[in-house]
Amino acid sequence: MKKGQVYEATVERVDFPNKGIAGVGEDTVIVKNSLPGQKVKFQVNKVRKGKAEGRLLEVLEKSPLETGSPCSHFGVCGGCTYISLPYKEQLRIKEEQVKGLLDGVLGRQEDTWLWEGIKGSPAAYEYRNKMEFSFGDEVKDGPLSLGMHKRGSFYDVVTVEDCQIVDADYRLILKAVRDYFAELGTSYYHRIRHTGYLRHLLVRKAVRTGEILVALVTTSQWENGDGATANGGSACCEEAVEVSAEDDLKGNACHEMEQVCRAGCNGRAEYEVLQGFLSTLLELENNGRLQGRFAGILHIVNDSQADVVQSDCTQVLYGQEFFYEELLGLRFKISTFSFFQTNSYGAEVLYETVREYVGSLGQTDSAADRVVYDLYSGTGTIAQLMAPVAEKVIGVEIVEEAVEAARKNAADNGLDNCEFLAGDVLKVLDEISEKPDLIILDPPRDGIHPKALPKIIRYGVEHIIYISCKPTSLVRDLETFLACGYRVERAAAVDQFPWTANVETVVLLSHRN
């Protein structure tokens, strides 16, 4: 198989996360974003050590498994992989992927382990409670778009007005905001030139309370991408802005000139555009078009060259910087950048699985005396679920605003045995005096830091529960756990992300005595 050559083949299976495996003669090639049973045309773009990778050019024949997509953007948008398949078929593929990866490492484990299959999401559509939409254009110098990156492209953005993994409120907000800025001719941030104004639109919505948080993320470059701000280069204007009663929508938008300046608002022109953005959103609610209601509408300035949603400074245009969600009888305050599972319905399935694993360990007399570590704790969801069966739960999370939210959440839920510490797990473990009896891990996609893993293992706790959103990272870490005397007792997959290539896995580890 030669690099640059074009071939045709039928995809035999899909390995995690989206690696279609096809055969050409005696050779095997990976064709990403293909589905089992599809006949595809691809161009080989990498050949190394007998392994080839190809770029998908065209689907020549659909898979017999495909039944059609309810989304008009499927195949163009890079968000969903399996939405043309029946949901049960997608679950089967993900289960096989996770089980195959676990078998690869646990085949060397002497003891048997229980595989519990995959648990589906209670909602297959309109399940996401957070979206980060990008501003850009779909074709070079085309009209303003707002949505998701085109599949295989870092620059092109598709306006996903028909997206099926979010509810109607997201679609209304997306369209209203895009239309507003398109009519104004506002520039978007060019990732190559590092000039322009509009960057992202962050939308979060609680499925239980219906509260919505929206954040418009821009640079401080107000003047249509020429690299200068409206007042000649300063991120904070010196021009006085008179805020009239008419401007002060619902009584709490941009109360004082100082707030506008601190948020990087470059004089009257940008201020009026932000007020128009605010009015556009509030009209959706006031006209009864939204199912939910706005808890907060924000303007965030981000001048980082990296394509990430972060804040140099934040201005509250309306309401507050947080909203509330409810899970399993508990109430959670979620701020702009707090980690929270993106599928609230699926999160309940995931956390019920964790709770059941803990319950399977037995309610001994010492259970109420145990100290539980919840590492990578986010807004403290798992910690609070563990509070009733522990003397103390200690959560560690690197995002400080998530830690503050976790403390507030625990207080609001009447839990006084939860302690939340801000910092990197690698460093904070050296500062905790109480030793754990049970450790729960829910690390980011790349898994546990290689230097933190030995520290966790040295505690020698009898049981560890590992929650993973990337099974390849999980099996890498399991290699180390197994080498240090742990064994896997049981495991299950949970589909938190229907139609995408992602899946959660929960594993119960026990230490060999």
Measuring CA to CA, how many Å separate 171 from each of 9, 174, 213?
37, 5, 14
Distance, in Å, from the CA atom of 244 to the CA atom of 238, rounded to the nearest integer, reads: 18
**Type and span of the H or E element at 330:** strand 330-335
DSSP, collapsed to helix, strand or coil, labels residue 373 as strand
Query: Tell me, what DSSP letter sits at residue 124?
Result: S
Contact 139, 155 (CB under 8 A): no
Q: Do residues 299 and 313 make contact, with C-beta atoms less than 8 angstroms apart?
A: no
pLDDT by position in tens, the chain (length 513): 889 999 999 999 999 999 999 999 888 999 999 999 999 999 999 998 778 999 999 999 999 999 999 999 998 998 899 999 999 999 999 999 999 999 999 988 888 999 999 999 999 999 999 999 999 999 888 999 999 999 888 889 999 999 999 999 999 999 999 999 999 999 999 988 889 999 999 999 999 999 999 999 999 998 644 444 443 333 433 333 444 444 444 444 444 434 444 444 567 889 999 999 999 999 999 999 999 999 999 999 999 988 888 899 999 999 999 999 999 999 999 989 888 999 999 999 999 999 999 999 876 545 668 999 999 999 899 999 999 989 999 999 998 988 999 999 999 999 999 999 999 999 999 999 999 999 999 999 999 999 999 999 999 999 999 999 999 999 999 999 999 999 999 999 999 999 999 999 999 999 976
pLDDT reported for residue 227: 40
- Whether 236 is a known active-site residue: answer no
What type of residue sits at position 282?
L
**The total number of residues written for the chain in this structure:** 513
Ordered DSSP codes for 148-162? EEBTT-SS-EEE-TT
How far is Cα 132 from Cα 213, in angstroms, rounded to an integer? Answer: 12
Who's near 215: CB < 8 A, 6+ residues apart?
200, 201, 202, 297, 298, 299, 300, 309, 314, 336
Determine which helix (DSSP H) or strand (DSSP E) holds 81, and give its type and residue range: none
Candidate list 71, 77, 261, 469, residue with the active-site label = 469
CA distance 475 to 482: 10
Q: In what order do the strands lie in the sheet with 157-159?
A: 157-159, 144-149, 130-137, 198-205, 211-218, 293-301, 313-319
- What is d(CA 382, CA 389) in angstroms, rounded to the nearest whole number? 12
Place of tokens 């399940």: 127
Q: Which residues pair with 188 in a beta bridge?
A: 198
Please measure the distance between the N-terminal and C-terminal CA atoms of the chain and give it in whole angstroms: 51
DSSP 433-464: -SPPSEEEE---TT-S-TTHHHHHHHT--SEE
Distance CA 155, CA 113 (A): 45
